[in-house]
Amino acid sequence: MVEKVFSDKELGKIVVRENARARRIVLRTRPEAIYITVPSGVPMKEIQSTIEQFRVKLIRSKKKVERKRIDLGYTIDSHLFKLSLESGIQSKFLAHSELGQTKIICPPTANFEDEELQAWLRKVIEEALRKNAKFILPSLIDNLSRKHNLPYQALKINSSQGRWGSCSSSKNINLSFYLLLLPSHLVDYVLLHELAHTKEMNHSDKFWAILNQLTQDKALELRSMLKEYTTDF
């Protein structure tokens, strides 16, 4: 995948990703950047024209996804992963973890306005997501693979923020550990989406027919629901 990065005064960091499988220009707003996926060969002039066409919406969307400050009382409460920050009496941060749940105990002197602390807390949460995903996601996709007789070759858990998952022509599946932030029915949808690619690599009518069969004719509805979620926390 070819990637170009540039900056815009109003929109900030913009990442353009060229994808041979893409059929149209797709824009996604994330706290750290705006991601634009384009088909192969799309000229920069057309990309810039698209940005201008949607500039007002992109600015509005960017404000909506601004990162929430991690502070006492901060929680993540998804079906597969729960996290909380709690006050303690010790002089250092402590973390208590078990499968699917993490508690961060904070010292009374913690300054949550400190950007370095915010960055460190995000790294701690990302690492907790990674560790849990490596235990949780393999069993989930294995169960669905066996249930629907859709074998895959290998599985890798990554930190992708641009894609929930992907499947190569050799049936190697990649899953983002941010999947743990989704409701369980959308996690299943993403896993089934990638498993469907083991039968049909593109997003043709045949692919959607397969995915519809796997999701009780709710593939497009679930795809629409997934667009409401981001990989940010």
CA angle 220, 189, 17 (to 5 degrees): 80
The alpha carbon dihedral of 174, 211, 182, 13 has a sign of positive
- Homologous superfamily of the 134-226 domain (CATH): Metalloproteases ("zincins"), catalytic domain (3.30.2010.10)
Comparing CA positions, the residue from 140, 143, 154 lying closest to residue 186 is: 140
> Taking the model in full, what pTM does it have?
0.74
**What is the full per-residue pLDDT of the chain (233 aa) written as tens digits?**
678 999 999 999 999 999 988 889 999 988 788 999 999 999 999 999 999 999 988 988 887 777 778 999 899 999 999 999 999 999 999 999 999 999 999 999 999 999 899 999 999 999 999 999 999 999 999 999 999 999 999 999 999 988 999 999 999 999 999 999 999 999 999 999 999 999 999 999 999 999 999 999 999 999 999 988 888 78
Yes or no: say if 17 and 2 are a contact pair by the CB < 8 Å rule. Answer: yes
| pLDDT on residue 27 | 94
Q: Which positions ≥6 away from 136 have C-beta within 8 Å?
A: 80, 99, 100, 180
Question: Could you write out the DSSP letters of every residue in 127-182?
Answer: HHHHHHHHHHHHHHHHHHHHHHT---SEEEEE--SS-SEEE-TT-EEEEEGGGGGS
Question: Could you tell me the residue ranges of all domains in the chain?
Answer: 2-64, 75-128, 134-226
Distance (Å) of CA 28 to CA 34, 97, 102, 130, 150: 6, 32, 29, 23, 30
| pLDDT at residue number 62 | 84
